[in-house]
Structure 1
Amino acid sequence: MGAWCSRRPTHRVRRGGDRRTPAPSRRGSASAPATSSSCSTPSISGCSTSATPDSRKFRCGPPRSSSRYWACSRHGAPGVWPARSRRRERGATAAAAARRRVKTCTVIVLNWNGLADTRALLPTLERSRMPAGWRLRVLVVDNGSSDGSIGAIAREFPEVELLALAENRRFAGGNNQGLRRAPDRGDDAVMLLNNDTEADPGMLEHLILALEQDPGAGAAGPLTYFAAPSRRIWYAGGRCVPGLGHASHRGLRQLDHGQYRAVERTGYLSGCALLAWASVWERVGLLDERYYIYAEDCDWCLRARAAGYALLFVPTARLWHKVSASSGAASPWKIYQRLRANAALFARHARGIGRATWLPSFVVQQAALAAWLAARGRMGAAAAVPRALLDAARGAPAERARP
C-alpha cells in the first residue's frame, strides 16, 4: 500500500453517531484553508514540511478501517508499526547478525627450543583454507626456550600471537596455558598442533567441516604421515582399550594407497594434532598434568568419550610429522616414559573386569616389546622396559629418570 495523507480528523466516528468536531487550534482556526494544512508523503518516511501547525489534528495513514496504521511523526501523531512487520524485522535482523558473525579457530603451537621446526610450520598454517564464516588465529606457546625462539618468532611472524612461559611446563602444562585463554578470546574451536609438523592447506577446513556435519562429534584429527614428502602413515585412527592395557595407532608405517578414505569414529586422537570445539574443551577439561610426558592426549580422549562425545578420524585432512620413518622406535628414555605413562593411564581408566585384566595384558605386551628390541640389537631400549615396570610398581616418580 502506498503512503498517502488524509485530512480526516484524528477522532473516530461513533458507530451510529455524529462526527465529533475537532477543537479549535490555539494557533489558528480549524477552518483554515485546505492548502495550509495539506501534506504530501511520497514515502513512508514522513510528510511535507509545508504543513502548518494545525495539521497536527490530522493523521497520515491508511483508511480508518485498518486497525494498524502508519502515522506521520512530523505531525505529532505517534508512529505505530504493524506487529507482524516488527516480528519479521526482528527475525531478519537476528538472522543477518548470525550470518555476519565470524567464528574463530585457534591453533596452539607448543614450542620448546624448536625454532627451526616452528619456522617451517607457521607458513603452512598461513596457507590454510578455512570454511566460509571462519577465521584462523595462531597462538605459539613458548615453554621457556633458550634458543632465541621468542624474539625470532615475534620478528618473523608478527601476526602470530605469542605466549612466553618462564619455564618448561611440558606438553600438558604448556598447552593448558594456551587453552585457558580460549574463553577470553571467544574461540569456537581450538586445536593442539605439534611444532614439528607441516599442514596441508585443506587440513583445518576438512576437520571443521567434518565436525559440523556430525552433531555427536566433539573432536577430530587428521591423517598423519611421517615427515614430508613421505606417504608412509604415522596415524590413521587410534585404538585404546584400557581393560586390555592396549593403545596404538592404526595404520602405523603402512604406505598410503587409499585404504583409509572415509571419515569415521575412532578410539582416540593423537595430541600431535587434535581439534575440538571450545565447548568440549570446557566440559571435558584441560589436559591432565599428572602425566610427566605422553598419554595426556589419550587420557583426554577417554574422558571426552565418557562425556558422550565421538572422536573423528578425517583422512581428507592431512599432516606430516617429523618422526623417524625407518625405525619408528624411540630412545630408551622415551620407551621408559611411554611405558610409565601408559601404566598410569590404564590404571585410571580401566572399569569393571578390566581392573583385573589390564595389568597382566599390559605386562605381556611390554615383554614382547622388549624381546623385539633385543632381537634387533637395541639392548639399551630393551632394558628400559623392565626398569620402567619395576619403577612403576615401586611408585618412583617418572621425572627422576634421566634421558
Structure 2
Amino acid sequence: MLHRIRRLFGIYAAYHLPEDSAHPRRDRLLLIPPFVRAGARAFPHAIRWARMRDPAARARVKQLLDLSGPAPLALDARLFEPPSAGPDPQAVTIVMPVYGGLPLLRQALDHVVRHTDIPWRIILIDDASPDDVTLPFLRDWAAQHPAILLENAQNLGFVGSVNRGLAEAMAHPDPVVLLNSDALVPDGWARRLLRPLLEDARVASVTPMSNDAELGSIPEPGRASPITAEEAAQIDCFARETNGVAWVPAVAGVGFCMALSREALEAIPRFDEAFSPGYGEEVDWCQKTRASGCTHVYVPNLYVAHVGGQSFGSAQKQALIQRNSAILTRRYPRFDAEVHGFLRRDPLVTARLALGLARAEVTRDAPLPITLAHSMGGGAETDLQRRLHADLERVGHALVIRVGGMFRFTLELWTRRPDGGHGMTAAGTAEWDHVTRLLAPVTQRALVYSCGVGDPDPITLPDLLLSLRQPSDRLTVLMHDYFPLSPNPTLLEDGEHWRGLPDPASTSPRHETRRPDGAPVPLSVWRATWGRLLYAADRVEHFSRASQNLTEAAYPGTPSDLRPHALPVAVPPLPRPAPEAPCVLGILGSLAPHKGAALAEALSRETGRNRDCSLVLLGGIDPAHRLHAPARHHGRYDVGDLPRLAARYGVTCWLIPSLWPETFSFTTHEALATGLPVMVFDLGGQGEAARAAPNGHPVPLDLAGDPGGLLARAISLSQDQT
C-alpha cells in the first residue's frame, strides 16, 4: 500500500510542481499537505474503483487529485445574465488619425455615420498622407459632417497625430474614443463602449472585443484573424445579447478602438512621444493611469472589426514593436509578468468562447462539428484528434465538450488559423445551461458521441446530447468502448473476467452505477436510456465486426456502420530474427487492469524462473502492479520508434494481454505491422485482427491464468520464424 501511495504522490507532484521551481525539493514537500487533504476526499471513490471498477469513481479520484492535466478556466456566469440598459451618454468625441488608406477610411467613416447611436463629433488628423486623394476626400467629408479636420504640414507619426487630436478633444466636455481608420464600429456601439466610464469613475479606458485586439482578440488572445465587415456585424449581434456589465479589468487597453475617460486625460493628457511613430503608446498611458488607481477594462458585449493594421508596413511594424516593447519593459518591469498572469487566468475566456462560436457560425462552410468526448486519452483520443484535424480543414471550426475533467463539462473551441495551424480555447462549467447558451448562435450542428466514460452522472448524457439536436442535425455515435451497453465500458466481471454480454436483468455490481445523490441505476435503466441515443442516431459507427455484433445484440436494428481505423503512423515490417535468437516477449501498450496489468506482472515473475524467454514492456502499467527483474520496463513509446525499440531489445514475439473484447486494438495492429508473431486472446477486435493476419496467433482466454503456458507459446513462435 505504501508503495502505491508513493507512486501516486509522484504522479501528483509531476502535475503540480512548477516547471521552473528554484527549490524543487522544498516545493515537493509543500505539496504533501494538499495531497493528503485531496487524498482523504478521494478515498471513498478510490475504494469504489478498487471494488467495482466504476470508471466514474476513477475519474472522480483524478478530478479530486487534479490529475487530468492543466485545469481549464471556469466560465464566467455573469456573461449569461440578461443584458440591462445603462446610463445614456450625452455625446462622444472621436479622435481618428489618418495616413492614406482611403478605401478603408471610407468604410470606417461610413460605419461611424451609420452606427453611432448618440450625438457625436469626430476630430480627423491627416498625418501628411502620402497620396493626393486622401486629404481632398477628408476636406470634403468634414464639410458635410460634425467633424474637425487637422492637417499636419509634415508627418508627425501616429503618436504625434493622436496628441494633436486629444488636445483638440479636451476643448469639448465629452468622453473621448480613439478610433483607427481601419476599425469598423457596429450598430449601437457607442453606448456599450462608454458604459463602464459612466458607471465607474475608476475606469480610465474601455476596449471592445475584436478579431485583432491583442488581449481582446477572438477566439485566441494575441492572434489576429481575418474578418469581413458583414461577418463582424453578425458577430456583434450575438455580442450585444450578453450581459453589458460583465466587463473585465486588464493590464492595458488597445488603441484601435479605445474609450478614454476625461478624468484620466486631464491627469495625463498626452501619449509619450518616446513611442513615436507608434505602437505601445497606449500601454504606457495605461500603466501611468493605473499607478494613480485607475483601471482598464474590456467589454465582451461589443465586437469591433479591425481590418487593416494600416499605419505601418509589416517589417516596420515588427521593428517598432521590438523597440517599443523594450521601452515598456524598462519602465514597467512587471508588465510582461502581469500580461502572462492575465492570460493564465484569462477572465475573457467566456467571451472568447461565446463570440468564437458566433464567429464559427457566420464563417463556417458546413454544419459545426460538436463532439462529446472523455478526458482519459487512449485510442478514442487518437481518433478524436484525427477527426478534429479533418473537421478543421473542412469546416474551419469544431467544438469538443469533454467530461471527466476538473469541471463536469469542458468546452474546447478549435479553430483553423490563417497560417494553417490550429488553435484551441477552453473553459469549464458544471452547468449544462451554460453549454446550451453558448451554442445558441449555431444553427447547423453535426453532433458526435465519442465517449462519456468518467462523467459523474453518465445516465444523463444521452438526453443532454439529444437536447442539442435540432431537426436537421445529424447525430453519429462512435463505439470506442461498450459504455452505451453498460456502466462498465469493458463489460468484464469481477476479477477482470469476460463472461459475455450481460443481460439487462443482471444484478452484477460491475454493471450498475449510482447517481451523485446515491440513487442506484440498474443495467435495465441504463440500456433503456442509452438506447434512446443509439436509436436516434443517423449512424452508429463500429471499428470491428466483433464490436458491431455485441452492440447489435444489445440494440438490434440500430443504424450500424463498420469503419475500422487506420493506423495514424505507418509501422514498417521488421527483419525476421534468426531461429537461434533468444526469445524476447514484447508487450505493447499502457496496461490498466482490464488491459492485462496483472498478467504482465505474473509473466515477469515467470521469466525470473524460466530463463528461456525474457520480457520487455513498451508502455505504462497500472500503479497497483509492477514488473519484477529480470523483466525490463521501457515506459512510454512513440509508434514511429517501434522498429528501433524492437531491435534494441531483440523482440522476437509480441503479446497484447488485453482481457476485454476491444472495439479496436491499435496496439494489436501496430504489433501485426512489424511482421513478428503476435499473440492475443481470442476475443473482440484484437482476436478478429489476429485471425485476419498471417502473423497473428489468437490464443484461448484460459491462458490468461497460465503465464508459463504463454511463455511456452512465445518460445515456440520465436523459434518458428518461417
The residue number in structure 2 matching 1:276 is 260
The residue number in structure 1 matching 2:428 is none
- The equivalences for 1:127-146 within 5 A come to 127-130=114-117, 134-146=118-130
The residue number in structure 2 matching 1:250 is 221
1:237 has 2:220 as partner: no
The residue number in structure 1 matching 2:209 is 223
TM-score, normalising length: structure 1: 0.51
Distance 2:112 2:225 in 1: 26
CA contact (8 A) 1:237 1:267 kept: no
Which amino acid is 2:140 matched to? R
Residues 302 and 128 (structure 1 numbering): CA distance in 2 closer, same or farther, change over 3 Å? same
Distance 1:129 1:333 in 2: 33
1:165 has 2:158 as partner: no
Residues 174 and 251 (structure 1 numbering): CA distance in 2 closer, same or farther, change over 3 Å? closer
Distance 2:134 2:173 in 1: 26
Higher RCO (CA 8 Å, separation ≥ 6 residues): 1
The residue number in structure 1 matching 2:316 is 333
Distance 1:175 1:224 in 2: 21
Which amino acid is 1:316 matched to? N
1:265 has 2:236 as partner: no
SS in 1 for 2:273: coil
1:192 has 2:178 as partner: yes
Distance 1:267 1:225 in 2: 19
Counterpart among 288, 301, 306 of residue 321 in structure 1:
306
1:118 has 2:102 as partner: no
Distance 2:161 2:200 in 1: 30
Q: Deviations over 1:11-30 (max 9, x none)?
A: xxxxxxxxxxxxxxxxxxxx
Distance 1:156 1:285 in 2: 28
1:311 has 2:296 as partner: yes
Shift of 1:154: 2.2
Distance 2:194 2:271 in 1: 21
SS in 1 for 2:316: helix
Residues 344 and 107 (structure 1 numbering): CA distance in 2 closer, same or farther, change over 3 Å? same
Shift of 1:124: 0.5
Shift of 1:167: 1.2
Shift of 1:210: 2.5
The residue number in structure 2 matching 1:295 is 280
- The equivalences for 1:4-403 within 5 A come to 103-130=90-117, 134-147=118-131, 148-157=133-142, 158-159=144-145, 160-184=147-171, 186-226=172-212, 234-237=213-216, 250=221, 252-253=223-224, 262-292=246-276, 293-323=278-308, 331-350=314-333
Distance 2:301 2:283 in 1: 22
Shift of 1:179: 0.6
Shift of 1:344: 0.8
Which amino acid is 1:265 matched to? P
CA contact (8 A) 2:159 2:272 kept: yes
Residues 305 and 145 (structure 1 numbering): CA distance in 2 closer, same or farther, change over 3 Å? same
Shift of 1:175: 0.5
SS in 2 for 1:125: helix
Residues 177 and 108 (structure 1 numbering): CA distance in 2 closer, same or farther, change over 3 Å? same
RMSD, aligned α-carbons? 3.2
Shift of 1:117: 1.6
CA contact (8 A) 1:204 1:317 kept: no
TM-score, normalising length: structure 2: 0.30
SS in 2 for 1:290: helix
Identity of aligned residues (%): 24
Shift of 1:218: 1.7
Distance 1:206 1:250 in 2: 21
Shift of 1:252: 3.0
CA contact (8 A) 2:210 2:216 kept: no
Distance 2:201 2:129 in 1: 40
CA contact (8 A) 1:188 1:279 kept: no
Distance 2:137 2:224 in 1: 35
Distance 1:212 1:305 in 2: 18
Shift of 1:223: 0.8
CA contact (8 A) 1:182 1:278 kept: no
SS in 2 for 1:200: coil
Shift of 1:333: 3.0
Distance 2:297 2:205 in 1: 6
Structure 1 residue runs of 5 or longer lacking an equivalent are 1-100, 227-233, 239-248, 325-329, 359-375, 377-403
Q: Deviations over 1:228-249 (max 9, x none)?
A: xxxxxx44539xxxxxxxxxx8
Q: Deviations over 1:10-53 (max 9, x none)?
A: xxxxxxxxxxxxxxxxxxxxxxxxxxxxxxxxxxxxxxxxxxxx
Which amino acid is 1:203 matched to? W
CA contact (8 A) 2:203 2:261 kept: no
CA contact (8 A) 2:166 2:269 kept: no
The residue number in structure 2 matching 1:55 is none
Q: Deviations over 1:344-372 (max 9, x none)?
A: 11101226xx99x99xxxxxxxxxxxxxx
Which amino acid is 1:179 matched to? L
Which amino acid is 1:137 matched to? R
Residues 286 and 302 (structure 1 numbering): CA distance in 2 closer, same or farther, change over 3 Å? same
SS in 1 for 2:119: strand
Larger radius of gyration: 1
Shift of 1:196: 1.0
Structure 2 residue runs of 5 or longer lacking an equivalent are 1-87, 227-234, 339-418, 420-722
SS in 1 for 2:211: strand
SS in 1 for 2:293: coil
Stretches of 4+ aligned residues off by more than 4 angstroms: 253-258
Shift of 1:294: 1.2
